[in-house]
Chain A
Amino acid sequence: MIRVDEKGFYGKFGGAYIPEMLHPNIEELRDNYEQIVAIPEFQEEFNALLQDFVGRPTPLYLASRLSEKYGAKIYLKREDLCHTGAHKVNNTIGQIILAKKLGKKRIIAETGAGQHGVATATVCALMGMECTIYMGALDIQRQRPNVERMRILGAKVVPATSGSQTLKDATNEAMRQWINNPVDTHYIIGSVVGPHPYPEMVARFQSVISKEIKAQLLEKEGTENPDIVIACVGGGSNAAGAFYHYYNVPQVRLVAVEAAGLGISSGKSAATTALGTPGILHGSKTLLMQTEDGQVVEPHSISAGLDYPGIGPVHAHLFDIGRGEFVAVEDEDAMKAGVELSRTEGIIPAIETAHAIHALNMIEFRPDDIIVINLSGRGDKDLDTYIKWGGY
């Protein structure tokens, strides 16, 4: 069985390795979130917002030209059609309702490319809560449109100027600010990372993805179970959502696609399972890219959303026990796959998602296999990167 144990571990990975100053916050969350999430009132509000505000259920779309090209039956789970353009909002809706029930007044969050920041700023505007987003100073320069989207939505965007000035440093900064404001503030982590109970809580809010896939596939194919589910993994929230209800269905293959950057052995990569070793990052034990001295290594991917030196502990566990198949896709192949999907199906995907599309070239399957690819986000935010790359 793949599930989190009472101490917050998935096998060897997980836990809550946090400074004592964060203990009361984490304890409050751990002791309350399951009860709060279980009450009917929470579920009603969550489901109503997912339906009317986010636009769920998102379609499960049979991509016929892509299917013909690859010789399998390929469905796309259209998370790109969620409000704000990616799956990230499923989690922020869940956490903002939770924060309200916990009596919190302020929200903080980290963001890399800005998608989670935008999804957080959006729900804060929706609920009338004060919102501060920490973002690496370098990412602020690289992702100007998302910075302005957050500002239009009323959020304050604070640059993280330490370290490499990217996602991991923004996460460090958000944790520090949580230490500084432990009472009135809730920290909305954007991926299945961080100290327990975050990885499981975020996965649960994202699990609506696989819940819908099951129902939609049953209707279209007469079975809840595809042969293969494919999703890209940075921290791993969209993959966790797409895999969640299939973790313990062994006949469904789970394919996690990491970013190889310029190549796994190029020194410019974010392929954590290929390059990482067990260690502790942002409060949980997981696989992470580090030096032999235990210093965290800065990753590289053309896609800012996959540019993270670790993966969520549940994915480290799937890798460890062989339940997940992990492949790594290079920048160039991902960009080409983005164009390929654009031209075969009329969908310009986020570059993160394009990695998952390219994985069709890297795994084996049979002509009658049903494959679901989680189309985690749309490519609008990546136009600059597509333009700079120019290979279309």
Chain B
Amino acid sequence: MNRLHRLFEQKQERVLSIYFTAGFPQLVDTLPVMQALESAGADIIEIGMPYSDPIADGPTIQDSNMVALDNGMNMKKLFEQLQEMRQSISIPVVLMGYLNPIIQYGIEAFCKKCQEIGVDGLIVPDLPMQQYLDEYKGLFENYGLSNTFLISPQTSENRIREIDEHSNGFIYMVSSHSITGAKSEISEEQIAYFKRVEAMNLRNARLIGFGISDKKTFITASTYSNGAIIGSAFIKVLKDSKDLSKDIHTYIQSIIS
């Protein structure tokens, strides 16, 4: 059974998913960051596959992508780094990134490799639902990979239902009209949107991301969903860190304790 499904069977509240960019801040940091996240108490790890043109990302993640690429990160290196990850990582691992590098690696080879090393799911923001259904769904399923779609406050109810039908991990609720980036407040308008989706009683778990940065925003988001995703705020922690293991532990504990 896919680790994501197992997780959501066991835990429906305050699930904490952490995003970071592979090969950041240093090329060799990918696995140590993952190990620190697991031991600090994160529930899901989302590994960002760096891309030159991340159109859904704000400045923090754009910069981490550039640094990672300059460090020499690419898909082949990432898979090398993750080859033995299941010896030390037991929580769900999701790869997140844009479609082009995946296509160039070869979509089937990519899915196969993901299964081989123990990746549980994929988040590909620029893979729209129709293209997924037409070209990719069969492959993802053959290799046991959950696919996660994004929804936003603009997504219509019908489309949310459709997305729910075709998702099999969790639904990624983008918290506002926004690209990624840490914010300090969640507005009434956002809460109304969280409640609206909550009331739809979807099949899949819902995690709220974009603009979640600290305990306060994490708790607020989790009140109306199964948990939340933190990316940019965590990237900032990594960027400023002199001692990754210690700083990751302190940060994760500041959110969940």
Give the CA-CA distance A180 to B177 in the complex, in Å.
5
Answer yes or no: A391 CB below 8 A from chain B CBs.
no
From A16, A25, A296, contact of B53 by CB (8 A): A296
B178–A19 touching, CB < 8 Å = no
**What is the CB-to-nearest-CB distance from B103 to chain A, in angstroms, rounded to a whole number?**
6
User: Residues of A contacting B66 with CB < 8 Å?
Assistant: 162-163
Give the CA-CA distance A17 to B55 in the complex, in Å.
11
What does the 1/0 interface line of A164-176 toward B look like (CB < 8 Å)? 0000110010011
Residues B129-183 near A (CB distance < 8 A)? 129-131, 149-152, 154-156, 159, 163, 174, 177-179
From A21, A277, A296, contact of B154 by CB (8 A): A21
Interface footprint category on A: 35 or more
B125–A20 touching, CB < 8 Å = yes
A294–B179 touching, CB < 8 Å = no
User: Residues of A contacting B128 with CB < 8 Å?
Assistant: 16-18, 20, 23
Answer yes or no: B102 CB below 8 A from chain A CBs.
yes
Known: A15-B131, A180-B179, A295-B69. A23 touches B155 (CB 8 A): yes
B179–A293 touching, CB < 8 Å = no
Give the CA-CA distance A47 to B102 in the complex, in Å.
45
**What is the CB-to-nearest-CB distance from B49 to chain A, in angstroms, rounded to a whole number?**
10
B101–A19 touching, CB < 8 Å = no
Known: A17-B126, A162-B59, A168-B53. A293 touches B152 (CB 8 A): no
User: Residues of B contacting A162 with CB < 8 Å?
Assistant: 59, 62-63, 66
A294–B152 touching, CB < 8 Å = no
Interface size on B, residues (CB 8 A): 44
- Interface-centre pick from A16, A17, A279 (highest chain B CB count, 10 A): A17
What does the 1/0 interface line of B77-119 toward A look like (CB < 8 Å)? 0000000000000000000001111111100000000000000
B155–A19 touching, CB < 8 Å = no
Answer yes or no: A182 CB below 8 A from chain B CBs.
yes
Known: A163-B66, A176-B58, A280-B99. A182 touches B131 (CB 8 A): no
A180–B104 touching, CB < 8 Å = no
Give the CA-CA distance A23 to B69 in the complex, in Å.
29
**What is the CB-to-nearest-CB distance from B18 to chain A, in angstroms, rounded to a whole number?**
20
Residues B207-237 near A (CB distance < 8 A)? none
Answer yes or no: B21 CB below 8 A from chain A CBs.
no
A294–B150 touching, CB < 8 Å = no
Answer yes or no: A11 CB below 8 A from chain B CBs.
no
- Interface-centre pick from A24, A176, A183, A279 (highest chain B CB count, 10 A): A176
9 closest A-B pairs by beta carbon, nearest first, are A294-B104, A294-B101, A293-B74, A20-B150, A24-B154, A19-B56, A295-B52, A19-B125, A21-B152
Interface set of A (CB-CB < 8 Å, partner B): 7, 15-21, 23-25, 162-163, 168-169, 172, 175-176, 179-183, 277, 279-283, 290, 292-296
